[in-house]
Amino acid sequence: MGENMVLSDYKNAVHSPSGVNMSWPLYGQGLENLGKKGRPVELTLPQIRDDQLLVRVDSVGLCFSDIKLITQGNQHPRIFGRDLPSDPVVPGHEATMTVVRVGRDLQDQYKIGERYLIQADVFYQGESMAFGYVLPGALQQYTVLGPEILCGDEGSYILPLRDEDGYAEVALSEPWACVVAAYRITRRETLQPGGNALFVVTDQARSKYTLEGAFALDGLPQQVIILGAQGEFLQQLQQELGERAVLGNLDLSMDKLSQAHTKGQGFDDIVFFGTPQAELVEDAVKVLAKRGAMVFLAETPIARDVAIDIGRIHYDGHVYLGGQTISLAHAYAQRRSAELTPGGSVWMIGAGGPMGQMHTQIAAEDPKGPKLIVVTENNQQRLEELEIRFGPAATARGARLVGLNPRELGNEEMTRRLKDVLAGELFDDVVVMAPSPPAVVDGARWLKDDGILNIFAGVPRGTMADLDLSQVYLSGHRWIGSSGSSLADLRYTLEQIQQKRLRTDRSVAAISGLNAAAEGLRAVQEGSFPGKIVVWPHLPDLPLIALPDLEQHLPNVAAKLSPDGYWTKEAEDELLASQLAEV
């Protein structure tokens, strides 16, 4: 039986768009300033230049990042100071779209009816032009794509789709790419070429270390500021570094050293030769540059826990590493990848939200994934949902998923349960979704040697946590984090979806039309659903419906869900075919 004609015409963009574009502009802070009087705004359909495309937004996932934008308004870092009343932003960045008009200069490259996925993090001529922030986003029926997106710094920020790709499953590529990116984190294994390094030699340091292998093939640091080195080791450093070696003033604070030698930009590498004082490390943390590495070559523990900016691990890619070694190259060496340890154990902290469920799904379904998956969540309903959704998948491949509720158990019983399930071991990996310094601190205490603490939660810069930094060089612990995803991450995620290795449809918890988008955003803010809400802009009157309630509202669509109640391409086709006929 052939495809429904209404659905076929829609997919192929047979009909030209009308002159109206329903949209949700943000005019100020708060949901009350999204649209007008709680409704989308009727705008004139955008006109395009010769170097632009007009695209129809087919589906858009709602994200907690949208909530941050809406609640912060023009205080949000991506649009700081923007005059929203006169220059509103349209949120929405998890989107699939179809070309409906092509500018004259682009007609050899793009055709009406072609479908695309967009990468939200757009960079054009060195500036961030994020889709759904700086550029108008997807919470509207149509939007314009111009050179910023089509000819950006990485080329085109839209990826072509196949006819058989589902709108919802592909729209959710963007949040899934952020999760996938968390396990694709890589770091350099040498001093930053052309960068600014700070070497701090403590009283406990040995007289001689080796720098062999610690320099990149494409260059040495621009300068290395040396503090505390004396005698033979100082001579060695000066000989190996030449004019790059600069003696620093021991009387200056770390901040003043940074101002004097980096113009306040911070040091790309800060290396401690020997065990430093905690206070010295805490001062050094403040002058570590973006993507900076703090490295320790030491054998004895720091006297106390050290206050670390965990927000900068997540947003700025700070890394802490080292070893009980005299070789700087060995201290930089990467012992393992950021992927979950095959056959190992992982603790997912705060796993009940949409992103936490994605992490849990990866751990549960990966044939080479961990054998023990512990998920913790304070909301009992969400915890049970995790166990129902992903417990069978883990069991099917011989793994075990254990759910625990710390709020109900209390600290003492929670500790006992963790020890019991680990049978005297510790975790290979801990992934923190809860934006909570105590959760990060607690997770770090349960890592085994060479374990990785992945700070996925977007805790703000300046969020401090007291961590046992000695474990970085005594036990090989790694604390990593990432924010967003790259175009390469999105392309990789899309390939995984198209090869049926990643089932993003399982993340859909509710659907809605454009008119109910504000209600959907409020539900995201309140954590009302265990997964993602997908909005269909061209089904404006579709109410916000949880998947378990589809039978009551749309029994024909409910009949096309998977046997275990998940969204499917068949359900999507049925939704569009039946609902578009009524629009």
CATH number at residue 27: 3.90.180.10
* Percent of the chain scoring above 70 in pLDDT: 98
Residue 429 resides in a domain = yes
Q: Assess contact for 227 and 252: CB atoms under 8 A.
A: no
Our CA angle for 26, 32, 33, nearest 5°, is: 25
Residue 314 resides in a domain = no
In this prediction, residue 1 carries a pLDDT of 47
220 pLDDT above the threshold of 90: no
Mean pLDDT along residues 140-160: 96
220, 275: one domain:
yes
Tell me the C-alpha to C-alpha distance, in Å, between residue 576 and each of 5, 119, 284, 355, 572.
Answer: 11, 25, 57, 27, 6
What is the b/e burial string over 308-346, where b = at least 16 CB atoms within 10 angstroms of the residue's CB? bbbbbbbbbbbbbbbbebebbbebbeeeeebbbbeebbb
Last residue of a domain, one of 481, 497, 517: 481
Give the mean pLDDT of the chain: 93
2 pLDDT above the threshold of 60: no
Both tokens assigned to 60: 């858009």
Q: How confident is the model at residue 204 (pLDDT cuts 50, 70, 90)?
A: low
171, 48: one domain:
yes
Tell me the C-alpha to C-alpha distance, in Å, between residue 83 and each of 134, 302, 427, 503.
Answer: 12, 49, 48, 40
114, 63: one domain:
yes
CA-based nearest residue to 269, from 185, 200, 186: 200
DSSP string for residues in 161-212: --TTS-HHHHHTHHHHHHHHHHTS----SSBPTT-EEEEEE-TT--S--B-T
Q: How confident is the model at residue 331 (pLDDT cuts 50, 70, 90)?
A: very high
Q: How confident is the model at residue 194 (pLDDT cuts 50, 70, 90)?
A: very high
200, 155: one domain:
no
- Tens digits of residue pLDDT in 374-421: 999 999 999 999 999 999 999 999 999 999 999 999 999 999 999 999
Tell me the C-alpha to C-alpha distance, in Å, between residue 507 and each of 94, 523, 531.
Answer: 13, 15, 5
Phi, psi of 31 (to 5 degrees): -60, -25
Q: How confident is the model at residue 77 (pLDDT cuts 50, 70, 90)?
A: confident
By three-state DSSP, how is residue 381 classified? helix
- Tens digits of residue pLDDT in 508-556: 999 999 999 999 999 999 988 888 999 999 999 999 999 999 999 999 9
149, 15: one domain:
yes
Q: Is the dihedral of CA 184, 188, 194, 198 positive or negative?
A: positive
10, 81: one domain:
yes
Taking the C-alpha atoms of residue 137 and residue 130, their distance in angstroms, rounded to an integer, is: 9
Q: Is the dihedral of CA 41, 46, 52, 57 positive or negative?
A: positive
Residue 324 resides in a domain = no
CATH number at residue 421: 3.40.50.720
Taking the C-alpha atoms of residue 538 and residue 96, their distance in angstroms, rounded to an integer, is: 13
- Domain total for the chain? 3
Mean pLDDT along residues 48-66: 96
Mean pLDDT along residues 320-341: 93
Taking the C-alpha atoms of residue 492 and residue 487, their distance in angstroms, rounded to an integer, is: 9
State the angle between helix axes of 354-365 and 380-396 in degrees (0 to 180), rounded to the nearest 10.
20
Q: Assess contact for 358 and 176: CB atoms under 8 A.
A: yes
In this prediction, residue 514 carries a pLDDT of 97
538, 561: one domain:
yes
The length of the chain is: 583
477, 533: one domain:
no
Q: Assess contact for 117 and 101: CB atoms under 8 A.
A: no
Distance of CA 516 to the CA centre of its chain: 26
Taking the C-alpha atoms of residue 70 and residue 88, their distance in angstroms, rounded to an integer, is: 11
- Relative to beta strand 20-23, strand 319-323 is unpaired
459, 352: one domain:
yes
Tell me the C-alpha to C-alpha distance, in Å, between residue 532 and each of 337, 535, 538.
Answer: 29, 10, 19
Residue 202 resides in a domain = yes
Map tokens 């709680």 to a residue: 38
Mean pLDDT along residues 339-354: 95
> Which of 240-254, 403-417, 551-565 is predicted least confidently?
240-254
Q: How confident is the model at residue 438 (pLDDT cuts 50, 70, 90)?
A: very high
Taking the C-alpha atoms of residue 166 and residue 128, their distance in angstroms, rounded to an integer, is: 29
In this prediction, residue 208 carries a pLDDT of 73
Residue 331 resides in a domain = no
Amino acid at residue number 112? I
For 400-527, where are the alpha helices, taking DSSP H only?
Answer: 406-422, 437-445, 470-474, 487-498, 517-526
210, 289: one domain:
yes
Both tokens assigned to 54: 């007009």
Mean pLDDT along residues 346-364: 94
260, 128: one domain:
no
Mean pLDDT along residues 43-52: 95
In this prediction, residue 183 carries a pLDDT of 93
Q: Is the dihedral of CA 147, 148, 153, 155 positive or negative?
A: negative
Amino acid at residue number 111? K
324 pLDDT above the threshold of 80: yes
In this prediction, residue 332 carries a pLDDT of 94
Mean pLDDT along residues 1-18: 85
By three-state DSSP, how is residue 138 classified? coil
- Relative to beta strand 267-273, strand 288-297 is parallel
In this prediction, residue 442 carries a pLDDT of 95
Taking the C-alpha atoms of residue 149 and residue 292, their distance in angstroms, rounded to an integer, is: 29
In this prediction, residue 207 carries a pLDDT of 61
- Relative to beta strand 53-61, strand 142-145 is antiparallel
Q: How many C-beta neighbours within 10 Å does residue 29 have?
A: 16
Q: Assess contact for 172 and 127: CB atoms under 8 A.
A: no
In this prediction, residue 157 carries a pLDDT of 96
Residue 533 resides in a domain = yes
> Which of 31-35, 201-205, 350-354, 467-471 is predicted least confidently?
201-205
Residue 320 resides in a domain = no
Residue 357 resides in a domain = yes
In this prediction, residue 440 carries a pLDDT of 95
Taking the C-alpha atoms of residue 382 and residue 454, their distance in angstroms, rounded to an integer, is: 22
What is the b/e burial string over 288-303, where b = at least 16 CB atoms within 10 angstroms of the residue's CB? bbeebbbbbbbeeebe
203 pLDDT above the threshold of 70: no
pTM reported for the whole predicted model:
0.88
Q: Assess contact for 428 and 345: CB atoms under 8 A.
A: yes
Phi, psi of 261 (to 5 degrees): -110, -15
Mean pLDDT along residues 288-308: 95
CATH number at residue 230: 3.40.50
Last residue of a domain, one of 268, 300, 332: 300
**Domain encompassing residue 259:** 196-300
In this prediction, residue 449 carries a pLDDT of 95
CA-based nearest residue to 356, from 427, 454, 451, 496: 454
401, 520: one domain:
no
